[in-house]
Structure 1
Amino acid sequence: MSKVNIKQEESLSIKFTHQMKVGDHRRLDLYFFLPKEMGINPQSLDEEEYYHAAIAGRRSYYSSGLHLPLVQGRFISQKKRTVEEFRLYLNLFAYQFAVAIETDSKELAQVEDVEQFYPSLKDLSEIVTQLLKKFRRNEPSDPKWKHYFENADNYLSWFCEQRLLKLMSHAPRSSDYSEVVEEVINLCRSENGYRDSKNYNSSQTQSDPNRISNKMLLLRRLIQQGVVLKEEQKRLGVGLKKMTTGIATAFVMLVVSSLIIKAQGIFSGLTMALVFTLAVIYGFREIFKEDIRNALWRVIQKGRPRWSRILRDTTSQAMIAKQHVWIDFVKSKDLPEEIDEILKRRHSQNKLDADILHYGINSRIASKDFLAGYSTIQEQVNFSLAPFARYLERGKAKIYKEADGKISSDSVERRYQINLVLSLQEGRKPPQFARYKITMNRSTIVDISQSEMPDGIEAIGFEHDEEGASPSA
């Protein structure tokens, strides 16, 4: 699989996913080239607000494929496992199972072609059935372990049923695939009956959507325990920003004091003219103090990371990774030479002036203290493009055509194309690059396509899958 994967997550969001191993040092930069006509720039979009409101990430232990230690028997016998070890491996299996089904169902929800949707739905339901059977074959008999298994089993059964029902509720209509529809519905009924037979949920909980939803959210948090890494994020440059404010204030006061002394020399005594002059001076001080501070801060902050993040194992509290995060608007002259070369190869009609939003993340992975038996963590980061969409124009144009003397018209939507360039540097190796074209309108992402790299530019390559097939269906 590719070292970095970019996919559409929902109607107006994209997700990048990558894995990092023990001891890795990786710098990943994403450059969003936003055409000027979109109206998205430093004046209309605050980078930090966008970071907190529209960028969400999760970092967790990862194993390629769903043949995890729980299923494959990494331990020779259950007697050699502790309760804590069993719970950790159980949670890792359940968590990746849920993420895989969630990812595949979201991808399938974007498919509108009937002939592609229903065969894919059938494949997904078969995979769900197989994995649930595989999972349940490893049900422990020991009561002290059985409770953890039942929590995970309850959640996975409910979650798979919900994802399939959601797909069916938005499925394209077709009478040619009634058998597939019936199979999926039977699977959902079977899982519902299975939970009833196990008495996983009380009748009051099942009959109340709020109670069942909240219970499943709790179970989801329980299976994430020990798998999803704890994040400690710290804002950088707080002291430096205070110092910048002090310098700006001192500079403004120096100028203001000079003007006041000069005004007192011009006007003898306390007169209305002096009072008015002092009021004007203090008014300009309040106006320009903020501007000077912001200008000075932009110069000092340029190129500096905004946040630091420490990732810890939730069980042992051991530090797993350190990260630095950047988000800022950059100028074309500050781009790496390779990106300039990539953009030069665009078609002439795509060479539009653009504002460039940069997101960067630098990760240093610890060389020890991973969960026993695992050497990889996975990072998934979602970017919502909804804040971009609100600046876009709605389609108002019409295309006219004539046929047999009759004139008809079709409404057309206004589409915009965002160029996304990725830069990946691992350790001291030369950087690798990838370019994507994101076509979107005001309501959805229409298409994401990857472009080839020009000669002389190293494309982001593939990494060897050491543990087996991907969990994604």
Structure 2
Amino acid sequence: MSKIKVKQEESLSIKFIHQMKVGDNRRLDLYFFLPKEMGIGPQSMNEEQYYHSAITGRRSYYSSGLHLPLVQSRFASQKKRTVEEFRLYLNLFAYQFSVAIETDSKELEQIEEPENFFNSLQGLCDLVSQLLKKFRRNEPSDPKLKSYFENADNYLSWFCEQRLLKLLSRAPRGSEYSEVLDASIALCRAESEHRKTKRYNSQQTKDDPNRISNKMLLLRRLIQQGVVLKEEMKTLGIGLKKMTTGFATAMVMLVVSALIIKAQGVFSGLTIALVLTLAVIYGFREIFKEDIRNALWRLIQKGRPKWSRILRDTNSQAPIAKQLVWLDFMKTTELPDKVAEILKRRHRQNKLDAEVLHYGIHTRVTQKEFLAGYTSIQEQVNFSLAPFARHLERGKAKIYKEQDGKISNDSVERRYQINLILAVKDGKDEVQYARYKITMNRSMIIDISQSELPEGIEAIV
């Protein structure tokens, strides 16, 4: 299995997922090649706005067995554990469980072939049923622990029911799959009855969609405590940007002052001509000041990280990892040699001019051991392509055909292909690469496929 996975998340978003161990030092670079016909570039899209509005991440402790009932081994000696330890391990299992079900259900949503869809749905229902049964066998009797268990059980029951109902609402219709549909609905009803029997939620809460949704969001945040790492973001270069603004202003004022002195030498005394000349000089100052500052800042900022992030354990507050983040548009002449070589492998018809959007992230993981039982952390970063889609044209073309003297036409959609090259460097190892083709239109991602690399370039394994 590849150390880094790239896959579709929603209709207009993709994500990459990877894990890092204690002491890892990893640099990840993603190069998005956006055809110029898409109309996306530094003039039409601000990188910082895109980063804050369209790129989201989730970083947490990770277990390689997402579908394993970790709760059994963690709770085997409940009497020997403190309340905080019990809550921590309970949260670990509940979080891993919810992430696994969320991941599986999103992948299932992408399946269009009915037979594969219902086979996968049956497997997901069996998995949910088994895990919930094993989880509930370990319900504690101690009142101090029971409230934490009930919160997790309430959320997992509701969350699994919601994910299954969402899948069923989009399921293909067909009488041949009625058994799977009935079994899935029966599981949803059983979970609803379970929460009712346990009296987890009041009738008022159940009757109000807003109240039940907000309550479950609160419960999810509670089970993330101690599992999802706390993030401390910092924008870099604020002081440097102020200095750049001051320097640009000084340079402009130097030119303006020289022009004013020159004008006073040409016009004797305070005349209308002198006043008009000074007005023109100050007008040009306001026009060019911003342009000079922006150009100077782009030159200074080029190649520098824009943000830093510290990841902390939410319980101990100990730093787990430090990250530097880049996001900027690049010129094709600035690309690393091997990235440019990979790009040359494109078919002749795909060799179009493109704007290059570069995202980079450099992570240094602490040398200290993680939480007991965990040897790695997982990072998942989502990129929404919706801001790209807003610039795309709607399909208006028609294809005509003739058959038996009758002429008919079919509407066709306009599709665009984005090339994505991924580069990863672990410590002092050689850089490894992967290339993907993302085919999309204005409303959705049509396909994500991985392409072969030229000979002599090491692929990500």
- What is the TM-score when the length of structure 2 is the normalising length? 0.98
Query: Could you tell me which residue of structure 1 aligns to residue 236 of structure 2?
Result: 236
Q: 2:370 is aligned with what amino acid?
A: F
SS in 1 for 2:175: coil
Conserved? CA contact 1:423–1:434, under 8 Å: yes
Report the Cα distance in structure 1 between the residues aligned to 2:248 and 2:210, rounded to whole angstroms.
53
Report the Cα distance in structure 1 between the residues aligned to 2:431 and 2:418, rounded to whole angstroms.
22
Are 1:182 and 2:188 counterparts?
no
Report the Cα distance in structure 2 between the residues aligned to 1:62 and 1:444, rounded to whole angstroms.
30
| Residue pairs, 1:186-205, within 5 angstroms | 186-205=186-205
Report the Cα distance in structure 1 between the residues aligned to 2:67 and 2:162, rounded to whole angstroms.
24
Q: 2:304 is aligned with what amino acid?
A: R
Displacement of 1:80 after TM fit?
2.2
Conserved? CA contact 2:75–2:138, under 8 Å: no
Report the Cα distance in structure 2 between the residues aligned to 1:190 and 1:127, rounded to whole angstroms.
15
Report the Cα distance in structure 2 between the residues aligned to 1:330 and 1:89, rounded to whole angstroms.
45
Query: Could you tell me which residue of structure 2 aligns to residue 139 of structure 1?
Result: 139
Are 1:428 and 2:428 counterparts?
yes
Query: Could you tell me which residue of structure 2 aligns to residue 471 of structure 1?
Result: none
| Residue pairs, 1:299-378, within 5 angstroms | 299-368=299-368, 370-378=370-378
SS in 2 for 1:73: helix
Q: Deviations over 1:289-312 (max 9, x none)?
A: 111111110110000000000000
Runs of 4+ in 1 over 6 A off after TM superposition: none
Q: Deviations over 1:313-342 (max 9, x none)?
A: 111100000000000001111111111111
SS in 2 for 1:177: helix
Seen in structure 2, the aligned counterparts of structure 1 residues 169 and 76 have a Cα distance that, compared at 3 Å, is closer
Conserved? CA contact 1:70–1:86, under 8 Å: no
Conserved? CA contact 1:305–1:324, under 8 Å: yes
Displacement of 1:66 after TM fit?
3.4
SS in 1 for 2:176: coil
Q: Structure 2: give runs of 5+ residues left out of the alignment.
A: none
Displacement of 1:69 after TM fit?
8.0
Conserved? CA contact 1:318–1:369, under 8 Å: no
Displacement of 1:79 after TM fit?
2.5
Conserved? CA contact 1:319–1:369, under 8 Å: no
| Residue pairs, 1:8-23, within 5 angstroms | 8-23=8-23
Q: 1:389 is aligned with what amino acid?
A: A
Q: Structure 1: give runs of 5+ residues left out of the alignment.
A: 462-473
Between the two proteins, the alignment pairs up a number of residues equal to 461
Percent identity of paired positions between Structure 1 and Structure 2: 78
Conserved? CA contact 2:312–2:319, under 8 Å: yes
SS in 1 for 2:269: coil
Report the Cα distance in structure 2 between the residues aligned to 1:64 and 1:90, rounded to whole angstroms.
17
Displacement of 1:72 after TM fit?
4.2
Q: 1:104 is aligned with what amino acid?
A: D
Displacement of 1:403 after TM fit?
1.9
Displacement of 1:174 after TM fit?
2.0
Conserved? CA contact 1:7–1:14, under 8 Å: yes
- What is the TM-score when the length of structure 1 is the normalising length? 0.96
Query: Could you tell me which residue of structure 1 aligns to residue 81 of structure 2?
Result: 81
Displacement of 1:173 after TM fit?
2.2
Query: Could you tell me which residue of structure 2 aligns to residue 265 of structure 1?
Result: 265
Query: Could you tell me which residue of structure 2 aligns to residue 280 of structure 1?
Result: 280
Report the Cα distance in structure 1 between the residues aligned to 2:69 and 2:88, rounded to whole angstroms.
10
Query: Could you tell me which residue of structure 1 aligns to residue 165 of structure 2?
Result: 165
| Stretch moving more, 207-216 or 254-263 | 207-216
SS in 1 for 2:420: strand
Seen in structure 2, the aligned counterparts of structure 1 residues 123 and 75 have a Cα distance that, compared at 3 Å, is closer
